[in-house]
Chain A
Amino acid sequence: MDMKGMNMKGMDMKGMDMKGMNMKKIILVRYGEIILKGLNRPVFEDKLVKNIKRALFSLGKINVEKSQARIYIEPADEAGYDYNSAINRLTKVFGIVSASPAWKVNADFNEIKKCALEIVGDIVGKSRGDTFKVETKRGNKAFFMKSPEINAELGGYILENMPSLRVDVHNPSFVLYVEVREFAYIYSEIIPAYGGLPAGTNGKAALLLSGGIDSPVAGWMMAKRGVELEAVHFYSFPYTSERSKDKVIELVRILSAYCGRLILHIVPFAQIQLEILGKCPRDQATIIMRRIMMRIAERIARSSGAMALVTGESMGQVASQTMQSLAVTDAVVNMPVFRPLIGMDKNEVIETARKIGTFDTSILPYEDCCTVFTAKHPVTKPHPEKIEMSESKLDIESLSENAINNIETLIINPL
């Protein structure tokens, strides 16, 4: 999410308390898709509210209310509340479509006018625009004016008081939004979020997290659809550095800003890789390694109540990601394997990685020294029977058992 263009227009007017008028700084949150979910709707909404509270917990006390596909967040201590950080965190809560810093006043046209003038005055004072329009939604049909009337009246009132402004309904430099419901909400900014479904509303899956660019993006995409994740990392120390572990922990931490606290299983894997290297043909090493990773990940998944695996593979990207290789890999597990990146090009994945903030960590170079485990010319069209024959030289059961018994499990909280 690019927050660079974000500014909190109107939010700097601290302690605005005009005669007889009660203006409250709030954050207005919109959610989209989950309102379509029929009878499940309250479940999704409650989960979203819970996730919002969790994301904003450390910023201070808030009151959260939901009504008519909107969630209203009212900080207890308006003057001391960090609205910028709150909005930044909200844009990472899946299920939210957008958020706006807004002012709440009584559904009274005089109050609306005064408040609108303050907001516009602030925008003009910071030379953030010279043309505008008013856009009104009237949810409260009992309100005595209709939306176009409000637009016209309010626009006129602002023009009278702000002679430097002009109205431009087609290409305004800012829009003043007015929503009249039980109260009236006035704001000028809509900050987009990612949409999706609230975390934890769509089952649980184990994410195979390598530390590269792809797997964190794959995890993020599944989490966006409400899937709860548990990360599994295969760790090849002493063929890689301790830093590669720190890197994976950091990636999980970045993801946890979206999904909340995450569990990470670190599986010691060097012994298995050495066995493969010693006993199997080198050109099959990668595919056999992948199959063993899937088997171990499946066992971790089952014991933690996950119903599927998630990987960052994309069709044809490397030898182990050809159609044949993926089929041979999938053959060893009995649960769905989700590959959300399957149809994406590398540059699309990179773009997403940058957007969600994992890219810079993913490209840290701490894992290159395990290139010994990749052959120069790995098989691209593995035969299941040949692979199985090679694998028969390994005691996969006891190797996996041994690795699983030495798993290090970490709980990672967002910063």
Chain B
Amino acid sequence: MNLKVWCEPEPHAKKRKEIYLDNSATTRPYDEVVDYMERINRETYGNPSSLHLKGIEAERLVKKARETIAASLGANPKEIIFTSGGTESNNLAILGYLDANPKNGRHIIATKIEHPSVLEVFKRLESRGYQAEYIDVDEKGMLDLEKFRSAIKADTSLISVILVNNETGSIQAIDKIAEIKNSINPKTAFHVDAVQAYGKMNLTTIRGYVDFMSVSSHKIHGPKGAGALYVKNKTKINPIIFGGGQEKSLRSGTENVAGICGFGLAAKMAFDKIEENHAKAEKLKSLFINKLKTCSYELKIISPEHSSPYILNVSFKHVPAEVLLHHLESRNIFVSTGAACSSRKNLKSHVLAAMKIEKCYAEGAIRFSFSIFNTEEDIIEVSDALGAIVPKLQAIYGGKPQV
């Protein structure tokens, strides 16, 4: 049988310089990670469940990776469940906890700016009879703590909060949220989606406040297809995938050994230099903001002042974000409109809607997201490109129709 439908990656014909500023969608893996995974795929290809040496070798590597991820969160290795990524971790935490603790009530709470992998799970739960409440955020994207306080009830089983929002970079005050929750209903489980925060800020303190924390590999220069869920010791949770009983029966399926190990190495590399990288991202972001503040065209910086240094959301008045994106793309600059997941559906961003951004800005929001691979020259080049493109597009889209 000859399967013709085989897709070769596009050849790198011209080695044109590319500026990749879509690191919240995914990142380029470290070369070390790619090499490490190649070695594992070639040599340590055993199934960790196998009884022989090939299996044991693989199992040892997975163990090392688990210890690394646990250490990065200040957790016990037993509290780390490997998954296929952030989406699965979010699904497992919410669905798995509610399934295992039916007596804790049927009321669940999230913010209005969660990732779809939380919001869609909530919608599904609503259709199964759960009562879900979505708490407002202010214009800075910060959770309204008073509304949150009044929402918690005796039968609130679980709350889910996104630590760093993937569209705007806003950072929630997990300590305050936990404090409020504990003062009203300490039994309520607390899940934090830390996918955009992991490897970019110290999470050990925050981890102490929560029962579940979702993290992902490919946002920190690790491979796609790997992630983890922190499950606080002694928390009752059921699996959502069933089979051979891997990951303490919480996540059946042969371990993605190379992916998990690549994840482990990427986490090690990220945490080894976490302060240094953070400072660098901060520098890039403030350089970018300064460049934008001196430009002549109308724009609005959507990301709040105190937000992740890795994410800068900017809206250019009257300019459809996708058109600007393609213009940047034609100069080999890669960015995102809102969140990559929703841009294809052509829906307006639920996050910006929750922040009540005016219409003429809500459709023009571009997310620039940085990584350690970006340089100051990149930022200067991008602001120059914006200077060439944005006024032209504003003339087309914002100008009065000619008669």
Residue B346, interface by CB 8 Å: yes
* CB neighbours of A1 from chain B (8 A): none
Supply 18 A–B pairs (Cβ within 8 Å), ascending by A.
A237-B330, A238-B323, A239-B323, A239-B326, A241-B322, A242-B326, A242-B329, A277-B396, A281-B402, A282-B401, A282-B402, A365-B344, A365-B346, A369-B320, A369-B323, A372-B323, A372-B396, A415-B4
Q: Inside 8 A of A369's CB, which chain B residues have their CB?
A: 320, 322-323, 326
B329 near A238 with CB under 8 A, answer yes
CB distance from B152 to the nearest CB of A (A): 40
A375 at the interface (CB under 8 A from B): yes
Which partner residue on chain B sits nearest A365 by CB separation? B346
B5 touches A415 (CB 8 A): yes
B327 in the interface, Cβ–Cβ < 8 Å? yes
* CB-based closest 8 A-B pairs: A238-B326, A369-B322, A238-B330, A238-B327, A282-B401, A365-B346, A369-B323, A239-B323
Interface flags for B370-403 (1: CB within 8 Å of A; 0: not) read 0000000000000000000000000011000111
* B residues 2-39 in Cβ contact with A at 8 Å: 2, 4-5
Question: 10 new A-B pairs (CB below 8 Å) besides A239-B323, A240-B326?
Answer: A58-B2, A238-B330, A239-B326, A365-B344, A365-B346, A368-B346, A369-B320, A369-B326, A415-B4, A415-B5
For the complex, what is the distance from the CA of A98 to the CA of B317, rounded to whole Å?
59
> When chains A and B are docked, how far (Å) is the Cα of A375 from the Cα of B399?
13
Shortest CB-to-CB span from B25 to chain A, Å, is 15
What residues on B are CB-neighbors of A281 within 8 Å? 402-403
- Interchain CB contact (< 8 A) of A241 among B2, B326, B402: B326
Chain A interface extent, by class: 10 to 19
Residues of chain A whose beta carbon lies under 8 Å from any beta carbon of chain B: 58, 237-242, 274, 277, 281-282, 365, 368-369, 372, 375-376, 415
A124 CA to B240 CA, complexed, in Å? 44
Across-interface contacts of B346 in A (CB, < 8 A): 365, 368
Question: Smallest distance from the beta carbon of B37 to chain A beta carbons, Å?
Answer: 29
The complex places the Cα of A227 from the Cα of B187 at a distance, in Å, of 72
User: Count the A-B residue pairs with Cβ separation under 8 angstroms: how many?
Assistant: 38
- Closest CB in chain A relative to B227 CB, distance in Å: 27
Q: A277 to B401, alpha carbons, bound, how many Å?
A: 9
Residue pair A375, B396 in contact (C-beta under 8 Å): no
Residues of B within 8 A of A241 (CB): 322, 326
Interface string of B91-120 (1 = CB under 8 A from A): 000000000000000000000000000000
**A375–B326 touching, CB < 8 Å:** no
- Roughly how many angstroms separate A372 CA and B320 CA in the complex, as a whole number? 9
For residue A57, give the distance in angstroms from its CB to the closest CB of chain B: 12
Q: In the complex, which residues of chain A have a beta carbon less than 8 angstroms from the beta carbon of B330?
A: 237-238
Query: How distant is the Cα of A277 from the Cα of B396 in the complex, in angstroms?
Result: 8
**Residue with the highest number of chain B CB atoms closer than 10 Å, among A58, A372, A376:** A372
Q: Which residue of B lies closest to A279 (CB)?
A: B402
- Quick one: closest B residue to A282, CB to CB? B401
Q: How far is the CA of A282 from the CA of B402 in the complex (A)?
A: 6
Which chain A positions have C-beta within 8 A of B320?
A: 369, 372
Which residue of chain B lies nearest to A280 when distances are taken between CB atoms in the complex? Answer: B402
Pick from B327, B330, B402 the residue with the most CB of A within 10 Å: B402
